[in-house]
Structure 1
Amino acid sequence: MAVATGSRPASRGTGQTPGGRRRLREGRLDRTFYWMVLPAFVLFFVFHTIPVLQGIFYSLTDSPGYGEWNFVGLANYAALFGDERVRDAYLFTFQFAIVCTVLVNVIALVIAIWLNGRIRFRSTLRGIYFIPYVLALLVIGYVFQYMFNQSLPAIGQALGIERLSTSILADPSLAWIGLVVMTVWQAVAFAIIIYTAGLQTVPAELYEAASIDGATPWRQFWSITMPMIWSFFTINVVLSLKNFLQVFDQVIAMTGGGPGTATETIGVLIYRGGFQGGEYGYQIANAVIFMIIIMAFALFQLRVLRREEVSV
């Protein structure tokens, strides 16, 4: 009796070939992924997308945050462009963010390069440098406020240094320096970790070959280190600028936006006007514009820095 030795028979009862069952399993696997993503999507939509849409709607009203309100269209947006206090807040926020972004990345890169050359105690030093990042911003802010208001003036008086005898946080022209010092001290920790991770991806053989060719340390930095860690540099710059544009806790803890409105950032202005000043709809419009600006800056940064990443 002859036995067929060709292709395998179809499964009994189902009429499906093994390939068909495989495709069916793949289809079920795809649906499983969708079910896994669905809870996160629902949470994001409920707690993020819906509030954003509600905020955009209220930015078109004169709502004080409670009680009755009227639809005013784009009047809030038009008024923002003529508000001098809003312009000052935007100017200070961008100046603050740019200064802090530059300082954080320069200091973090220098420390990361120094740490990368330390063989002993490398892990311990990384842990020490990361401590400021895990502390609460409000706690750090109040500590620095005490230092600038009490400790430094006392030291200045004892040493006879008139400039340090009074708190710089009470000086409208110097208060921003205290904010920058505190913010850079806290934020540089995270940037160090990113740069340290990037430097570990650079092969040591490249530096050895460059040294043999007579390249100076400065030349090695620009020709080897920066091209190899440019993607890490991009991450740090984008995250730093985004976070510093949204600065809030530091200002609340150290200066409260003062003296006067000298250190009032956009976040502080939105909080004060929207939740304390009865300008809920007006400041929501301010928040919408601010959100668009941050998104535009982030996209612009990524596009420019990634272009540079390709060129290097």
Structure 2
Amino acid sequence: MSAPVAAAPPLPKPSEVTGKIKHKKVRTEPIYYLFTVPTLILLSVGITLPAVVGIFFSFTNYIGVGEWEFIGFSNYKVMFSDPAILQSYLFTLGFSLVTVIVVNIISFLLAVGLTSRIRFKVVLRAVFVIPMVISGIIIAYVFNFLFSNSLPALGEALGIGWLSESLLGNPDMAWLAIVIVTAWQAIPSTLLIYIAGILSIPGDVYEAADIDGASKTQQLMRITLPLVLGYVVINIVIGFKNFLNAYDIIVGLTNGGPGTSTRSVAMSIIQGFFGGDYAYQMANATIFFIIAILIALLQLSMNRGRN
């Protein structure tokens, strides 16, 4: 005759388990503070504190040295009626919008090609990222020579009138040269992000699409593009932020000319610092900072709503 089976001990109630977990204290390892605190200190001293000081001086008549007086919003009122400032904002926003579109379209198409089954794709990836490691001012001086000498000479030899003149000397076309050079340097970093996004897509998805008879174009539009949409938003936000701060390439190509047709907001701010308009340009920098933040928040909110 078999022995009676002992009854299993009662399981704890969910409330008891939840209560124990809820009241358990999580201890933070001191090593995390070792990495976090110095970074916060450097960030505060190197970025936050100067920004706060600059915003304060935007309400004064400070020229960079000597005494100053508090003048309220006078710098901001003058800035909104200054045609040179308005022109710099118009150029910067237009240039940034066109460049970010050009860069993302070309980078995405290159990423699709460099992740497909083509020969020497590893070598081609290395070649395409070379512009990323070259200084912007060096790139600008090289292209300045090409636009000012090589291309006009080629245009004269071929009898092409519009190519015989330098784009950099044309007030209506100089911005196009800046877009070309800026895109040439910015495409590699954007390309790497798109390559990472495309490679993160499982291959089973494409195999299933092949079995269903989907063409390469249909796979691109209905699989690749929707699945890398998050990477598109990242590239747009990063690219737009970088292009808003365009400075070195513009200085090397046109120095803001002809006239002031290609002067960016960053150029106006920096030149004002050295020209005795410290407080006035700090007001300009404050407004520019607010605009950049609003644009970034708008882009991120649009992506959040899509998801």
**What is the TM-score normalised by the length of structure 2?**
0.89
Contact 1:231–1:306 at 8 Å: present in 2 too?
A: no
**Residue 49 (structure 1) shift:** 1.0
Matches within 5 A, 1:170-209: 170-209=169-208
Query: Which amino acid is the alignment partner of residue 302 of structure 1?
Result: L
Deviations 1:175-195 (A, max 9, x none): 011101100111001111110
**Residue 216 (structure 1) shift:** 3.0
CA distance in 2, matches of 1:35, 1:142: 43
Query: Which amino acid is the alignment partner of residue 207 of structure 1?
Result: Y
Query: Which amino acid is the alignment partner of residue 130 of structure 1?
Result: V
Asked if residue 123 in structure 1 is aligned to residue 125 in structure 2, the reply is: no
Query: Which amino acid is the alignment partner of residue 278 of structure 1?
Result: G
1:40 is aligned to 39
CA distance in 1, matches of 2:89, 2:217: 37
Contact 1:152–1:165 at 8 Å: present in 2 too?
A: yes
CA distance in 2, matches of 1:49, 1:205: 47
Query: Which amino acid is the alignment partner of residue 296 of structure 1?
Result: L
CA-based RMSD: 1.7
1:292 is aligned to 290
CA distance in 2, matches of 1:253, 1:68: 35
**Residue 82 (structure 1) shift:** 1.0
Query: Which amino acid is the alignment partner of residue 84 of structure 1?
Result: P
CA distance in 1, matches of 2:235, 2:166: 32
Runs of 4+ in 1 over 6 A off after TM superposition: none
Contact 1:234–1:306 at 8 Å: present in 2 too?
A: no
Matches within 5 A, 1:59-138: 59-138=58-137
**What is the TM-score normalised by the length of structure 1?**
0.87
**Residue 207 (structure 1) shift:** 2.0
Structure 2: which 5+ runs fail to align? 1-23
2:13 is aligned to none
CA distance in 1, matches of 2:273, 2:81: 18
**Residue 244 (structure 1) shift:** 0.6
Moved more, 158-167 or 90-99: 158-167
CA distance in 2, matches of 1:96, 1:65: 30
Contact 1:65–1:274 at 8 Å: present in 2 too?
A: yes
Matches within 5 A, 1:261-280: 261-275=260-274, 277-280=275-278
Report the count of equivalent residues: 285
